Structure formats: structure tokens, C-alpha cells
């Protein structure tokens, strides 16, 4: 099954994509994680992307479309995949359609902006493997350490409050139009984000399997 996870930054789409990835045994492809890794490694496109990411802006369509094409061609995607954070613009969605890849469902995790602003401040991410945590809703077993690899969990630069406001504005302008784009294709399923992550996960899995 090929799925897209859509949602404002901080809505929890990455967390839910991870849950579904484990439940269905298909890879979660996070363009954000790939870009952060590239920035860390100092590759040419990674450095280009870093400035945009740190300011809360989007990385150019050319770069992310290139990354995605390469990633999706890998063997582990043959039985399906979850796109987490791609597409984020209408041209990216059009590029995906042009690749002739059939998307089965687009799951939107819907959370009000006000709730997001409160939530994002507690978000932590492993600086080594990129796994995500939340101090209140999804704490790691040992504070400050990743459950999966033992790396340090940190606050992402783009989770700083002023950057979050910019990212929300960018989401509404550039990414939210994708809801209509996929609704027209009959693929959009909206899951209302709940207070408890586990409750959202239950609804998300139901939506995927329906």
C-alpha cells in the first residue's frame, strides 16, 4: 500500500506514519529526515537545504523531488511505502502523479494551530537516527536518550517558537491546498488528532485499513 501522510508541522504526522510503518511493515520515507541527514553530512544539496529548513521555509521542489525519486526506486519500497512530509506543494504532488506511482490513500492528521503551538515546544528528536519523541505525550524511556539507538534527543532548530509560526504559515499557503488536490482524486481521509497519541494512532490505523 502506498500512503501519503499530510499534516501541519507538529500535528503528529511523523509519529503516526511511524506507527503505520511498523504495523504494516512498509518503510516510512521522511523527506525532512533525509534532508537533515544530508545537511549533517555537508552534501551539496544538504547545505543548500539547511538554510531554508532553519528558517522554516520549504526546500526547493527540484531538490526534494530528486530525493524522493531516488528513495522510492530502492528495493524496500516495492511492497509499499509511507510518504511523510512529501508532497508539500502542488507541483510536488503533480511530479508524483507524473511518476506513475499509484497512491492508495492520503491520510491527513488534523490539529488546530493553537494546539500545535502548545505541543511543538515539547517535541524532541534523536540527533542520530531521527526518531521523534515528546516530553509529555511520547517520552523516551530515559530522558534525553533515544529508545532506539541511545543517541541524544534534542529540540530541532526549526521547532523554535518563531520558526514554528513561519512553518505554520507556509503550511497553510503551500501545503494545505493538497487537501483539495487529493480530495478531488477521492483519496483524502482526515483523522482528527486526539489529545492522546495512542487514540490518534487507533483512528489512523482504522483509516488506513478501512
Nearby residues of 111 by Cβ (< 8 Å), 6 or more positions away: 7, 8, 10, 11, 12, 119, 193
User: Which one of 167, 168, 182, 200 is in contact with ligand AMP (CB under 6 A)?
Assistant: 167
How far separated are the first and last CA of the chain, in Å rounded? 12
**3-state SS assignment for residue 209:** helix
Q: By CB under 6 A, is residue 52 in contact with ligand AMP?
A: yes
User: Which one of 12, 32, 46, 193 is in contact with ligand AMP (CB under 6 A)?
Assistant: 32
* Catalytic sites, residue numbers: 13, 88, 123, 156, 167
Of all residues in this chain, which one has the CB nearest to ligand AMP in the complex?
32
In sign, the C-alpha dihedral spanning 51, 126, 173, 71 is positive
- Residues 126-165, one symbol each (x = binds ligand AMP by CB under 6 A, - = not), give --------------------------------x-------
- What is the grid cell recorded at 120? 511543538
Q: State the burial class of residue 48 (Cβ atoms within 10 Å of its Cβ: 0-12, 13-18, 19+).
A: middle
In the window 172-201, what residues touch ligand AMP (CB under 6 A)?
none
User: Which one of 31, 140, 200, 204 is in contact with ligand AMP (CB under 6 A)?
Assistant: 31
| Strand pairing report for 123-126 and 132-134 | antiparallel
Residue closer to ligand AMP, measured from CB, 26 or 167: 167
The contact set with ligand AMP (CB under 6 A) reads 9, 30-32, 35, 52-53, 57-59, 64, 85-88, 92, 158, 167
Amino acid at each position: 500500500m502506498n500512503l501519503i501522510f499530510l499534516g501541519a508541522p507538529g500535528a503528529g504526522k511523523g509519529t503516526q506514519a511511524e506507527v503505520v510503518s511498523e504495523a504494516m511493515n512498509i518503510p516510512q520515507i521522511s523527506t525532512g529526515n533525509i534532508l537533515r541527514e544530508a545537511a549533517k553530512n555537508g552534501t551539496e544539496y544538504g547545505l543548500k537545504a539547511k538554510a531554508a529548513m532553519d528558517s522554516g521555509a520549504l526546500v526547493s521542489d527540484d531538490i526534494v523531488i530528486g530525493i524522493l525519486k531516488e528513495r522510492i526506486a530502492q528495493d524496500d519500497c516495492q511492497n509499499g511505502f509511507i510518504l511523510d512530509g512529501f508532497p508539500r506543494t502542488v507541483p510536488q504532488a503533480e511530479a508524483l502523479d507524473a511518476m506513475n506511482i499509484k497512491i492508495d490513500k492520503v491520510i491527513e492528521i488534523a490539529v488546530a494551530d493553537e494546539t500545535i503551538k502548545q505541543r511543538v515546544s515539547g517535541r524532541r528528536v534523536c540527533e542520530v537516527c531521527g526518531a521523534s519523541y515528546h516530553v509529555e505525550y511520547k517520552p523516551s524511556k530515559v530522558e534525553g536518550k533515544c529508545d532506539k539507538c541511545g543517541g541524544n534527543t534534542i529540540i530541532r532548530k526549526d521547532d523554535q517558537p518563531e520558526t514554528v509560526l513561519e512553518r505554520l504559515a507556509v503550511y497553510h499557503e503551500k501545503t494545505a491546498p493538497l487537501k483539495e488536490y487529493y480530495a478531488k482524486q477521492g483519496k483524502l481521509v482526515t483523522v482528527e488528532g486526539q489529545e492522546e497519541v495512542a487514540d490518534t494512532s487507533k483512528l489512523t490505523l482504522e483509516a488506513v485499513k478501512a
